[in-house]
Amino acid sequence: MKIITVAHQKGGVGKTTLALNLAFYLKDIKRVGIVDTDLQGSVQGLETLLDGITLVSYEALLEGSYPELDIIIIDTPPYLTNRLNDLFSVSDFVLVPTKVSYLDAMALKATMALLQQCQAERPDLKAGIVLNMVKPRTSMNREIKDILDAYPIPTLNTRIHERVSYIRSVIAGGIVQLEDGKAHEEMADLADEIINQI
């Protein structure tokens, strides 16, 4: 079984939407579970919509008391928490979403520091930054690119663009249920890029 954790200590970067859409995309080819570690319980509140996805509690994750699964995706809260160390230590891949903005790129520092500590102890822990909610005709200026390039993990090739479909996807059963071919391709590319590393 592989564990993918979606983390960034800043709110509003689309962690929950990405976590859910990865789960919805992968559930047709893998046995998928999702863990909601945010006290707001956004994912838990959608339990009735998670057809084919196993909702796993944080406690069950740590105890290993959940059904046999191929992949577990962990959604994390929009702030630094002491749980991140524990979650990174059991993860195979940490996905770090960020918007293409100076403030969001700079806000990655604390998450990167925690991630670097875990990778020092577990060199096999993979991670990647994904540019999320990218606005149309947005280009990454040199300053933001330099910030991202200075971090110890790579920026993935896949970019997730800002689309109304992603907003609707949460209650529709994932982007795969909506007629948005470009969004389908983005989620497929992101899932493939992660799976190929783990």
Phi-psi group of 52: left, alpha or beta (phi > 0 → left; psi -120 to 50 → alpha; rest → beta): left
* Number of structural domains the chain divides into: 1
The pLDDT-based confidence of 12 (bands split at 50, 70, 90) is confident
pLDDT digits (tens, 9 = 90+) for 61-100: 989 899 999 999 999 987 767 788 889 999 999 999 999 9
pLDDT digits (tens, 9 = 90+) for 13-45: 999 999 999 999 999 999 999 999 976 777 887
Domain membership of residue 132 as a residue range: 2-195
Euclidean distance between CA atoms 25 and 28, whole angstroms: 7
Checking if the pLDDT of 102 tops 70, the result is: yes
Q: What is the CATH number of the domain that holds 13?
A: 3.40.50.300
Distance CA 106, CA 123 (A): 24
Show the tokens assigned to 1.
Answer: 């079984």
Predicted model pTM: 0.93
Structure tokens at 35: 């863990």
Share of the chain above pLDDT 70, in %: 98
Instruction: For residues 81 and 184, give the distance between their C-alpha atoms in angstroms, rounded to a whole number.
Output: 32
Amino acid at 85: N
Q: How many CA atoms lie within 13 A of 32 on its CB side?
A: 21
DSSP 69: -
The CA distance from 65 to 188, in Å, is 30
Which pLDDT does position 80 carry in this prediction? Answer: 65
